[in-house]
Chain A
Amino acid sequence: MLRSALRDAALAAMVALLLTMPLIGLRTVESNSRLVVEPHFIDVAVTVALVFLGRLGLTLAGAAKGPAWSVLAAALTVVGSGWLLPFPTQALRWLAVAGGILVGLRALVALRARHGTLTEAERDRRMDRIGARLQDASRLIGPVAVIFALLLPLLPFADRALIDLGILLLTYIMLGWGLNIVVGLAGMLDLGYVAFYAVGAYSYALLAQTFGFGFWLCLPLAGLFASIYGLMLGFPVLRLRGDYFAIVTLAFAEIVRIVLLNWAWFTNGPIGISGIPRPSFFGLAVFAKNPPEGAIAFHKLFGLEFAQIHRIIFLYYIILALSLVVNFFTLRIRRLPLGRAWEALREDEIACTALGINRTTIRLAAFAIAGMFGGFAGAFFATRQGFISPESFSFIESAIILAVVVLGGMGSQVGVVVAALLVVGLPEAFRELAQYRMLAFGAGMVVIMLWRPRGLLAHREPTILMHPRRSACQQQADTEARG
Chain B
Amino acid sequence: MEYFLQQLINGVTLGAIYGLVAIGYTMVYGIIGMINFAHGEIYMIGAFISVISFLVLGAVGITWVPLAVVIVLLVTMLFTAVYGWTIERIAYRPLRGSFRLAPLISAIGMSIFLQNYVQLVQGARVKPVPPVIPQVIVLMERADGFKVAISYLQIIIIVLTIVLMAGFTLIIQHTALGRAQRACEQDMKMAGLLGVDVDRTISQTFVIGAALAGVAGVMVTMYYGVIDFYIGFIAGIKAFTAAVLGGIGSLPGAMLGGLTIGLIEAFWSAYFTVEYKDVATFGILVLVLIFRPTGLLGRPEIEKV
Contacts and interface: CB of A to CB of B under 8 A. Distances in A.
Interface in B87-143: 90-91, 94-95, 98-106, 108-118, 120-123, 125, 127-129
B155 interface: no
Contacts of A395: 233
Given A35-B55, A91-B120, A399 B108 contact: yes
Contacts of A481: none
A189 B101 contact: yes
A236 B112 contact: no
Contact of B279 (A259, A399, A445): A259
A445 B290 contact: no
Nearest to B98: A453
B109 A444 contact: yes
Given A23-B48, A252-B286, A453-B95, A439 B105 contact: no
Contacts, number: 173
A217 interface: no
A446 B86 CA distance: 13
Interface in B59-92: 59, 75, 78-79, 82-83, 85-86, 90-91
B278 A254 contact: yes
Interface in B203-252: 233, 237, 240-241, 244
Contacts of B156: none
A246 B104 contact: yes
Contacts of B108: 191, 399, 402, 445
B285 interface: yes
B291 to A, nearest CB: 9
A150 interface: no
B124 to A, nearest CB: 10
Interface string B182-221: 0000000000000000000000000000000000000000
B37 to A, nearest CB: 9
A42 interface: no
Interface in B141-173: none
Given A22-B52, A35-B129, A445-B108, A251 B120 contact: no
A252 B290 CA distance: 13
Interface in A32-75: 35-37
Nearest to B113: A442
B31 to A, nearest CB: 14
A258 B118 contact: no
Interface residues of B, number: 70
Contacts of A442: 109-116
Given A259-B279, A438-B116, A247 B102 contact: no
Nearest to A436: B120
A247 B35 contact: yes
Contacts of B289: 237, 240, 244, 247-248
Interface in A360-404: 395-396, 399, 402-403
Contacts of B273: 262
A304 interface: no
A18 B100 contact: no
B143 to A, nearest CB: 35
B51 interface: yes
Interface string B22-39: 000000000001110000
Contacts of B122: 23, 27-28
Contacts of B276: 258, 262
A239 interface: yes
B3 interface: no
A446 B94 CA distance: 11
A444 B106 CA distance: 9
B95 A450 contact: yes
Contact of B240 (A247, A255, A261, A443): A247
A236 B275 CA distance: 24
Contacts of A243: 33-35, 104
A15 B86 contact: yes
Contacts of A290: none
Contact of A445 (B86, B90, B112): B112
B178 interface: no
Q: Which of A18, A240, A258, A446 counts the most chain B CB atoms within 10 A?
A: A446
Contacts of B305: 350
Given A19-B82, A23-B45, A250-B237, A258 B109 contact: no
A122 interface: no
A53 B170 CA distance: 42
B246 to A, nearest CB: 15
5 contacts: A23-B48, A26-B52, A189-B101, A237-B290, A439-B120
Q: Nearest 10 pairs between A and B by C-beta? A: A445-B109, A442-B113, A442-B112, A453-B102, A251-B282, A449-B106, A446-B109, A439-B116, A262-B275, A438-B116
Given A237-B289, A240-B290, A402-B105, 7 more contacts: A19-B82, A28-B48, A35-B51, A35-B129, A250-B237, A439-B120, A445-B113
